[in-house]
Amino acid sequence: MSTVSPETLEPAIRLRGVSVGYGSHVILKDLTLDIRQGEIIFIGGGSGAGKTTLLSNLTTLNRPIAGEIWIGGIDVASAAEDALQSVRRQFGVMYQLGALFNSMTVLENVMLPMEEFTNLPREAREEVARAKLGLVDLASAAAKMPSELSGGMQKRAAIARALALDAPIIFLDEPSAGLDPMTSADLDSLIQTLNETLGVTFVIISHELASIFAIAHRFAMIDGKRGGLVEVGDPRVMRDSSSDPLVRKFLNRQGVAIHSAPAPH
């Protein structure tokens, strides 16, 4: 809810000359990008473009082959494991299938990060977890097991868990995958509301055009064949006037419902 323009703030994540891949096989190279505080940015591209590989590097599961990734003043590409632990408190992640722990209730799933990383008494942890579930409109499912939830509800519960420690950055991996258009639109609306009310930065890995045009402040297109970042900017402007034929083709696919553009706050 900051009134300061996102462009003038220190970036939430800063990528400088980043190359990612597996082993010595480079998929994306020389990626330079600033992810601004409080923005919703989509990172997309075709299948095999390197989206998931990039996400695993941003979330510190893997280290880039080259370059720097700065999160919270620490370069996660070269940081020691101890430093990475503190960086991991700076973000939450929602995985494609939710990745909720099946042996715990939804409430216990949301309480788990607080149990591990805070000294809050159980009663307080439970109150916070209930509030987080309320934010994603899932308070009534607190006592349910993840297997009792629909796909959309599991993803909302996973967002509540990602929000558990009030991390300023949330990564979402293909949030629309496996959801019907209505549920997907509801999820987009939730992401937008959380961004507006809590000022959380959302980094979303997705190629879902309906979501991109509905809620993205910016869209970064990556392509493995071209070796890295193709273009970044307002997706509506890119769709209508990008000089890159690949970007225009990608953003002009037929049959996509295009909603009104959100105003970056």
Does residue 10 bind other proteins (CB under 8 A)? no
Instruction: With beta carbons less than 8 A apart as the criterion, state whether 219 and 248 touch.
Output: no
Residue 195 Cβ, how far from other proteins at the closest point, in Å? 13
Phi and psi torsions of 157, nearest 5°: -65, -40
Rounded CA-CA distance 152/200 in Å is: 21
Q: Candidates 24-32, 170-178, 193-201, 242-250: pick the segment binding other proteins (CB under 8 A).
A: 193-201
Binding string, residues 151-180; x marks residues near other proteins by CB under 8 A: ------------xxxx--------------
Region 19-78 residues binding other proteins, contact defined as CB under 8 A: none
Spatial CB neighbours of 143, under 8 Å, sequence gap ≥ 6: 105, 106, 107
DSSP sequence for 216-251: -SEEEEEETTTTEEEEEE-HHHHHHH-S-HHHHHHH
Residue 92 Cβ, how far from other proteins at the closest point, in Å? 11
Closest to other proteins by CB, 190 or 210? 190
Does residue 193 bind other proteins (CB under 8 A)? yes
Instruction: With beta carbons less than 8 A apart as the criterion, state whether 32 and 16 touch.
Output: yes
Residue 234 Cβ, how far from other proteins at the closest point, in Å? 25
Rounded CA-CA distance 182/212 in Å is: 15
Does residue 119 bind other proteins (CB under 8 A)? yes
Does residue 240 bind other proteins (CB under 8 A)? no
Does residue 135 bind other proteins (CB under 8 A)? yes
